[in-house]
Amino acid sequence: MAIRERLSGNEAVAIAMRQINPDVMPAFPITPSTEIPQYFSSFVANGKVDTEFVPVESEHSAMSAAIGASAAGARTLTATSSCGMALMWEELYVAASNRLPIALALVNRALSGPININADHSDSMGARDSGWIQIYSENNQEAYDNFVQAFRIAEHKDVQLPIMICQDGFITSHAVENINLLEDEEVKNFVGEHDPENFLLNSKTSMAVGAYATPAFYMEAKKAQSEAMKNAKQVILDVAKEFKALSGREYGLFETYKLEDAECAIVIINSAAGTAKDAVDNLRAQGKKVGLLKIRVFRPFPAEEIAEALKHCKAVAVMDRSDSFNAHGGPVCAEVKSALYGLDKKPLVVNYIYGLGGRDVKVENIEEVYAALEEIAAAGKVEDDYRYLSVRA
């Protein structure tokens, strides 16, 4: 039975963590994710979970402790944002290469500098090649639902990779929305008990974690990681199918919105997708054939599926809330262009960098993008395929 609640995204994720009842949570506070360990530590203090909460001296220590706990056989999670994740950088790669199914609640915030504490995706996009599964959340409900599914994906025997569940700082993390929670027992049964096959505290067998990989073995380890990431795609879909049966809420690798007959489409991630949907509704009411594709799963990247979904469009705008500073475009656009490359007939693609450092993204801003797409489709060419949206002259 669904429990109707009004919660911020941070509260919703903290409740999902309480319902999962992990073994260990090491954490260090950083805005705007601070509330997550704050709420969770109160659950620990009040005896609502059996978790060992470890207050550490830095985010590097938080991920180091998470790696140690997970390697020992404990179900482990943590939370961070922005520069906190940057301080974890070395350890992100260690967690992935050691195939440790740690869950991380990442509240997206701009990386310094200049100093900024508001939402963009420079933190998670910077970590896109670290070997972590990445799932993004448009709103508070999705943040909760995605975190409930996280361990089922990460701990699957064909995956065994760490996973980060992302939501936009302040926009969803602090804004309060109506959401539906699952009953505690339902989440407990859905997630199940953690039953690792290999772990350091297993007295029946010996193993090493973090051993030096010589050139004779390093590539094989990376190939195994790569295969696990490929496997994750189907596991994500299988877990989502079970979650739909439990909750009634459906998730895939991405969501399409009025895309089936669209001539012009936008590809976007996280909270701005809601704004873009309003723009689509406005323009559809005017008879314009526009649509949207919202990426939920960025790692593993669903290249073939996205190409299939967009192949009928005349023009596509890929929206990046971070820049790669390669003088050519942002990370999401690079992935989407790569996905479309094999099509015989490709949509014309333009990249928009938007919303950096928490810059407001309004419906009229998205409508400007669709107007530009209409011009591109009519002209049959893209004059400037790398643009910044809503920048003062």
Domain positions in the chain:
3-190+210-247, 254-388
Segment 186-193 shows an average pLDDT of 98
254-388 architecture in CATH?
Answer: 3-Layer(aba) Sandwich (3.40)
Per-residue pLDDT for 258 more than 70?
Answer: yes
Query: Do the domains 3-190+210-247 and 254-388 sit in the same CATH topology, yes or no?
Result: yes
The pair of three-digit structure tokens given for residue 103, joined into one six-digit string:
């869950």
For the chain, what is the mean pLDDT? 97
| Confidence band, pLDDT 50/70/90 cuts, at residue 1 | low
Per-residue pLDDT for 238 more than 80?
Answer: yes
The DSSP code for 215 is T
Segment 290-302 shows an average pLDDT of 98
Segment 177-198 shows an average pLDDT of 97
Q: How far is CA 9 from the centre of its chain?
A: 14
Contact (Cβ atoms closer than 8 angstroms) between residue 7 and residue 140: yes
Q: Whole-model pTM?
A: 0.97
- The pLDDT value given to residue 2: 83
- The pLDDT value given to residue 153: 98
* pLDDT tens digit sequence for 336-376: 999 999 999 999 999 999 999 999 999 999 999 999 999 99
Per-residue pLDDT for 36 more than 80?
Answer: yes
Calpha distance 44→48 (Å, rounded): 6
Contact (Cβ atoms closer than 8 angstroms) between residue 162 and residue 103: yes
DSSP 142-171: HHHHHHHHHHHHHTSTTT---EEEEEETTT
* pLDDT tens digit sequence for 276-292: 999 999 999 999 999 99
- The pLDDT value given to residue 393: 79
The pair of three-digit structure tokens given for residue 110, joined into one six-digit string:
């701009």
* pLDDT tens digit sequence for 206-231: 888 988 999 999 999 999 999 999 99
Q: Per-residue b/e over 250-289, b at no fewer than 16 CB within 10 Å?
A: ebebbbbbbbeebbbbbbbbbbbbbbbbebbebbeeeebb
3-190+210-247 architecture in CATH?
Answer: 3-Layer(aba) Sandwich (3.40)
Segment 13-31 shows an average pLDDT of 98
* pLDDT tens digit sequence for 85-128: 999 999 999 999 999 999 999 999 999 989 999 999 999 999 99
Contact (Cβ atoms closer than 8 angstroms) between residue 278 and residue 261: no
